[in-house]
């Protein structure tokens, strides 16, 4: 007869307790038909966007939102390709970094390319940032985009002055203590170069780096505050600051929608990137090179192309942005006058045409180091 | 004088061999579980777990070579959880600190380059360390001054209101720190609560926001409960009759405070100081939200290394250095504390 002692029972309980966390792992690995993990910028993680998809597919959808591209890409580099199904980052990373490094996989071209035909004219296939370097593979889908230079309170600094003076506003001693800086260090690197009159998207020599460092010290030294989007909008509304460096439709649209049309994203008329004064971003969403990619990944990419869903993405909580799908009349008609005003639709086309597209700074690490040091020693 | 004089009788009573019910039951259970022990050498009860290690020998070498005691067995889940949840991440951070800069070659490379970069004379990161440690020290000092009268009141004079007042101080902990700090931003903001109200009466609010002073204010506000509660506990440990006896013997208020109250409450005060110091050194939200990044604290530098710079090894080296500094300071403070006495074990 077999007797079960108290010790045996404890062993069983202990074993079960230890095994419990792994109990769900195997089935989860084996069957991912009803699960989707998205690594994205703020917006795609909103319940407004995800809940209808969850309900329609009876799926468990997890979305983690981060606020800078390098962090998301390095999550994949650190081995999280096994975790994520979709990654949503700014335009250059898919074709210039993630695809060459094997972190993402191409989309079926025949299935997805037709969606680009319904987008705004500048996104017609083959859309450069959605394609691999050799132009053969489709690496992702475009949706949200916008100009991103700086934001002014037009009651204090007119739109005309801001556009004409451009980045030189931040060289103006009379504005010392009257501006803020958005805490977005990759963009701040771009913009400090712009204020120094240097094209950020090229290799820089020692003299340019010195000018960058001096500009960084001066600009950070003259800033009233450095903070997140909420802090910037709050400071603009309260009158603590008149303008802030690094910002655009993405950051100011919530304040505009909240009844502050005097706050406006501005793109300078001219600047150091082949004459262009601003920088714009376009998000590209790609399928991760996950060995067990969820079939819902491509389903989700199709789902967000739907006019209604695209409109929801544009006005997901937190930040409001134009979407490429506004080229489709069915989508555009869903936007109210107030919504179009919040995303500065009236000047969007000209601002995009005055903006260079976000790119990779070859010597970003060095520039960031100099800028971080300047932040410490400012003033 | 007072510590030894008051502690001796209590300590003496607790040093009496374990005749208390709990201890006897514990021993009985242990004896019952090992038959070999009945014929083995008598094990002094105070040896506790150490005695368990000698059990195989006592059984004449029979049975397993090593057997965990019940206590060790019961603590196994907690031990494993700590190992996986506490030691493993720390070990990973430590390993990353010695990995090739800007790589993910953890456990596959070994270099001191990250530390060399930190100690490079051209690197200004020392300023961030200085700000963090300096602000933490100032926070602790300010908290000691602010919390002492409140703690004294809670321990001595608030009576039946003490519980309610304690809850009032603890209640903010239920609200997210960031929300509370944004609340203060609205309070101090230009045209905000303070400035707006003062303008109504013809004045103007002080420009305190986005300054190191605002950071210090935020830290003192956020960490007040962590100083207050241990300090109250420390003050509650001071025997009232001792204070009354001193008063009867003619001691002044200042003398009673200096010679009786403060020395006897010191363990609680030190624990509060230690706790708030460790928390304050790691603070970052205050410098971001209230300080507008007017200073860069070391935890912000670590955050930048792990995010925008994507230099995990450098971030880990900074984190390891900070841990070592805080650990060394904490151990030095703990060496002066008798935790057993504070927790009432002897």
If one counts the domains in chain B, the total is: 3
* Assigned domain for B143 exists: yes
Q: What is the CATH number of the domain that holds A129?
A: 3.40.190.10
**Residues A270 and A373 occupy one common structural domain:** yes
**Residues B160 and B262 occupy one common structural domain:** yes
- Selected for mutation to probe chain A from B310, B311, B316, B318 (highest A CB count within 10 Å) is B310
Return d(Cα A331, Cα A307) in angstroms, integer. 4
Band the pLDDT of B30: cuts 50, 70, 90: very low
Band the pLDDT of A378: cuts 50, 70, 90: confident
Nearest to A86 by CA among A283, A282, A290, A281: A290
**Residues B144 and B205 occupy one common structural domain:** yes
Contact B289 A77 (CB under 8 A): no
Statement: residue B52 has pLDDT above 60: no
Give percent of chain B above pLDDT 90.
64
The chain B residue lying nearest A18, using CA atoms, is: B77
pLDDT digits 0-9 by tens, A16-51: 444 444 444 444 445 688 999 999 998 899 999 999
**Residues A274 and A292 occupy one common structural domain:** no
* Assigned domain for A364 exists: yes
Angle, CA of B103, B104 and B106, to the nearest 5°: 120
Return d(Cα A153, Cα A55) in angstroms, integer. 42
The chain B residue lying nearest A363, using CA atoms, is: B309
pLDDT of residue B21: 34
**Residues A266 and A174 occupy one common structural domain:** yes
Contact A17 B123 (CB under 8 A): no
* Assigned domain for B327 exists: yes
Q: Contacts of residue B67 in chain A, CB cutoff 8 Å?
A: none
**Residues A78 and A177 occupy one common structural domain:** no
Average pLDDT of chain A is 92
The chain B residue lying nearest A71, using CA atoms, is: B307
**Residues A262 and A362 occupy one common structural domain:** yes
* Assigned domain for A162 exists: yes
What is the domain range of residue A226? 146-279+358-377
If one counts the domains in chain A, the total is: 2
pLDDT of residue B45: 43
**Residues A122 and A263 occupy one common structural domain:** no
Statement: residue B34 has pLDDT above 50: no
**Residues B162 and B54 occupy one common structural domain:** no
What is the domain range of residue B202? 119-342
**Residues A264 and A312 occupy one common structural domain:** no
**A183 contacts chain B (CB < 8 A):** yes
pLDDT digits 0-9 by tens, A239-286: 999 999 999 999 999 999 999 999 999 999 999 999 999 999 999 999
Return d(Cα A44, Cα A25) in angstroms, integer. 26
**Residues A139 and A72 occupy one common structural domain:** yes
Three-state SS across chain A? Answer: CCCCCHHHHHHHHHHHHHHHHHHCHHHHHHCCCCEEEEEECCCCCCHHHHHHHHHHHCCEEEEEECCCHHHHHHHHHCCHHHCCCEEEEECHHHHHHHCCCCCEECECHHHHHHHHHCCCHHHCCCCHHHECCCCCCECCEEEEEEEEEEEEECCCCCHHHHHHHHHHHHHCHHHCCCEEEECCHHHHHHHHHHHCCCCCCCCCCHHHHHHHHHHHHHHHHCEEEEECHHHHHHHHHHCCCCEEEEEEHHHHHHHHHCCCCCEEEECCCCECECEECEEEEEEEEEEECCCCCCCHHHHHHHHCCCHHHHHHHHCCCCCCCCEHHHHCHHHHCCCCHHHHHHCCHHHHHHHHHCEEECCCCCCHHHHHHHHHHHHHHCC
Contact A185 B308 (CB under 8 A): yes
Q: What is this structure's pTM?
A: 0.81
pLDDT digits 0-9 by tens, B289-341: 999 999 999 999 999 999 999 899 999 999 999 999 999 998 888 887 766 66
pLDDT of residue A65: 92
**Residues B272 and B286 occupy one common structural domain:** yes
Nearest to A36 by CA among A24, A52, A50: A50
**What is the least distance, in Å, from the CA of B289 to any CA of chain A?**
7
pLDDT of residue B335: 82
For residues A192-214, average pLDDT: 98
Q: What is the CATH number of the domain that holds B272?
A: 1.10.3720.10
**What is the least distance, in Å, from the CA of A79 to any CA of chain B?**
10
**What is the least distance, in Å, from the CA of B98 to any CA of chain A?**
17
């Amino acid at each position: 007869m077999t007797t079960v002692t108290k010790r045996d029972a404890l062993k069983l309980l202990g074993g079960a307790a230890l095994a419990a966390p792994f109990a769900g792992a195997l089935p989860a690995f084996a069957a991912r038909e009803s699960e989707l993990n998205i690594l994205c910028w703020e917006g795609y993680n909103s319940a407004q966007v995800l809940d209808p998809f969850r309900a329609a597919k009876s799926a468990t959808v997890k979305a983690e939102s981060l606020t800078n591209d390098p962090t998301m890409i390095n999550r994949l580099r650190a081995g999280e390709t096994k975790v994520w199904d979709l990654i949503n980052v700014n335009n250059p990373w898919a074709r210039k970094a993630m695809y060459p490094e094997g972190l993402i996989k191409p989309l079926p071209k025949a299935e997805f390319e037709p969606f680009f035909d319904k987008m705004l004219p500048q996104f017609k296939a083959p859309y450069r940032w959605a394609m691999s370097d050799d132009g053969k593979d489709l690496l992702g889908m475009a949706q949200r985009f916008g100009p991103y230079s700086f934001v002014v309170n037009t009651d204090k600094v007119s739109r005309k002055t801001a556009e004409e003076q451009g980045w030189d506003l931040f060289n103006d001693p009379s504005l010392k203590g009257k501006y803020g800086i958005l805490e977005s260090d990759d963009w701040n690197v771009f913009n400090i170069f712009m204020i120094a009159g240097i094209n950020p998207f090229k290799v820089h020599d020692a003299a340019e780096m010195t000018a960058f460092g001096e500009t960084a010290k001066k600009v950070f030294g003259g800033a009233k505050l450095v903070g997140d989007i909420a802090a910037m909008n709050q400071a603009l509304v309260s009158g603590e600051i008149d303008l802030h460096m690094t910002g655009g439709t993405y950051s100011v649209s919530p304040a505009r929608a909240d009844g502050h049309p005097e706050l406006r994203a501005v793109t300078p008329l001219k600047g150091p990137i082949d004459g262009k004064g601003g920088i714009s971003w376009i998000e590209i969403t790609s399928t991760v090179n996950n060995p067990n990619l969820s079939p819902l990944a491509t389903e989700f990419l199709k789902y967000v192309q739907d006019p209604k869903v695209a409109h929801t993405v544009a006005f997901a909580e937190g930040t409001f942005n134009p979407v490429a799908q506004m080229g489709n009349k069915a989508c555009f008609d869903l936007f109210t006058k107030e919504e179009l005003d919040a995303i500065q639709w009236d000047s969007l086309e000209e601002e995009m045409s005055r903006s260079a597209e976000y790119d990779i700074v070859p010597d970003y690490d060095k520039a960031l180091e100099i800028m971080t040091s300047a932040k410490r020693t400012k003033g | 004088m007072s510590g030894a004089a008051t502690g001796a009788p209590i300590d003496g009573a607790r040093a009496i061999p374990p005749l208390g019910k709990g201890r006897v039951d514990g021993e009985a259970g242990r004896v019952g579980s090992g038959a070999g022990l009945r014929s083995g050498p008598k094990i002094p009860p105070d040896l506790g777990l150490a005695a368990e290690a000698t059990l195989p020998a006592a059984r004449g070498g029979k049975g397993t070579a090593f057997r965990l005691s019940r206590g060790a067995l019961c603590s196994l889940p907690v031990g494993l959880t700590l190992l996986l949840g506490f030691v493993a991440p720390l070990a990973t951070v430590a390993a990353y600190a010695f990995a090739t800069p800007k790589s993910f070659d953890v456990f596959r490379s070994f270099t001191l380059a990250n530390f060399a970069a930190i100690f490079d004379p051209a690197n200004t990161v020392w300023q961030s360390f200085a700000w963090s440690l300096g602000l933490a020290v100032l926070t602790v000092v300010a908290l000691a001054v602010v919390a002492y009268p409140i703690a004294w009141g809670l321990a001595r004079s608030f009576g039946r209101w003490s519980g309610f007042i304690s809850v009032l101080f603890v209640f903010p902990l239920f609200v997210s720190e960031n929300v509370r700090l944004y609340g203060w931003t609205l309070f101090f903001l230009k045209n905000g609560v303070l400035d707006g109200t003062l303008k109504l009466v013809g004045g103007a609010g002080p420009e305190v926001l986005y300054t190191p002073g605002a950071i210090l204010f935020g830290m003192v506000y956020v960490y007040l409960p962590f100083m207050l509660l241990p300090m109250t506990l420390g003050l509650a440990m001071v025997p009232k009759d001792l204070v009354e006896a001193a008063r009867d013997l003619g001691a002044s208020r200042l003398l009673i405070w200096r010679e009786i109250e403060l020395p006897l409450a010191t363990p609680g005060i030190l624990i509060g100081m230690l706790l708030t110091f460790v928390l304050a050194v790691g603070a970052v939200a205050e410098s971001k939200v209230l300080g507008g990044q007017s200073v860069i604290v070391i935890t912000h530098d670590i955050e930048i290394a792990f995010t925008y710079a994507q230099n995990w090894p450098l971030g880990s080296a900074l984190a390891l250095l900070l841990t070592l500094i805080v650990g060394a300071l904490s151990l030095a403070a703990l060496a002066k504390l008798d935790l057993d006495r504070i927790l009432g074990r002897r």
